[in-house]
Amino acid sequence: ALTLTDKEYQVMRNASFAILREIGVDTGGSNVQFAINPKNGRMIVIEMNPRVSRSSALASKATGYPIAKVATLLAVGFSLDEIKNDITGTPASFEPVIDYIVTKIPRFTFEKFPGANTTLGTAMKSVGEVMAIGRTFKESIQKALCSLERSLSGFDRVKFEDRNDLVFKIRNANEKRLLYIAQAFREGFSVEELHELCKIDPWFLTQIKEIVDFEEQIDMDILNNKALLRKAKTMGFSDKMIALLVNLKDNLELSQNDIYYARMKQKIIAEFSEVDTCAGEFEALTPYL
């Protein structure tokens, strides 16, 4: 979590151990989920799963650490120092270290449930989720949006009736809230105003605002400006989004293929880094892309 303090992390870690001991979980994978009020540090347990769950699978995929396998071997009598991490060849007692950002976004399909209440709350309404990995939060979240299979190119523009309607859509959680927040920045809202409306941490709002602000730099010149095009790609802008922004500003009809060919001409090629669980500290034997 990018906005957690080390103290908050340690408090949750210790609380998780205390909860597992109180319930009596001696073996197997478990996870405890918390909510923390950043204003006063108040911590609440949302749920505790005394089993390997979807959250465990996400953590394994995000870190490359085989939680289910390690938990199984521990249950039959192995100790952590006897279990080898297949990726690095080091003992499983080494905590995974990551040098990238992982973003998870839920997938909703309210169109399949006519009449359903689309306001999000404590009840689970998602039908799935996507996970994206990037060097920065900006890259990671834009990749995640593109992966939702909702025909998104990133922070796409969304329609609203007037300012009051936009405020309502931001104040009340819904599946397009992130897009409405980005749209609000385009309409001149400040980070402080949006924080008061949605209570999302200002750090995340600032990241989204910087993405929206960078859109103003994208025009026809980006096709011949290697530095600007590279920066757009490192911030997670898809070729399709770059084409849409150029078309919007210069009244053109470029496709994502045009941006792709411009990238190839300037030798701006996508790289695929390996997930090795150790941030390159050890030689990875079987990393995954």
- What does each of the 289 residues of the chain score in pLDDT, given as a tens digit? 788 888 999 999 999 999 999 999 888 888 999 999 888 889 999 989 888 888 888 888 888 888 888 988 988 999 988 998 777 777 888 888 888 999 999 999 999 988 889 999 888 899 999 999 999 999 999 999 999 999 999 999 999 999 999 999 999 999 999 999 999 999 999 999 999 999 999 999 999 999 999 999 999 999 999 999 999 999 999 999 999 999 999 999 999 999 999 999 999 998 887 776 666 666 665 555 5
pLDDT at 202: 96
Q: Is 51 helix (H, G, I), strand (E, B) or coil?
A: coil
**Token representation of residue 76:** 């039959």
Candidates 252, 261, 179; CA nearest to 219 is 252
In order of their start, the domains of the chain are 153-265 (1.10.1030.10)
Taking the alpha carbons at both ends of the chain, their separation in whole angstroms is: 22
Residue carrying structure tokens 């089993």: 51
In the chain, % helix, strand, coil (3-state, to 5) comes to 45, 10, 45
Q: Is 49 helix (H, G, I), strand (E, B) or coil?
A: strand
Contact 142, 236 (CB under 8 A): yes
Residue carrying structure tokens 């299979």: 149
Q: How far apart are CA 60 and CA 68, in angstroms?
A: 8
pTM for the full model?
Answer: 0.89
pLDDT at 232: 97
pLDDT at 285: 59
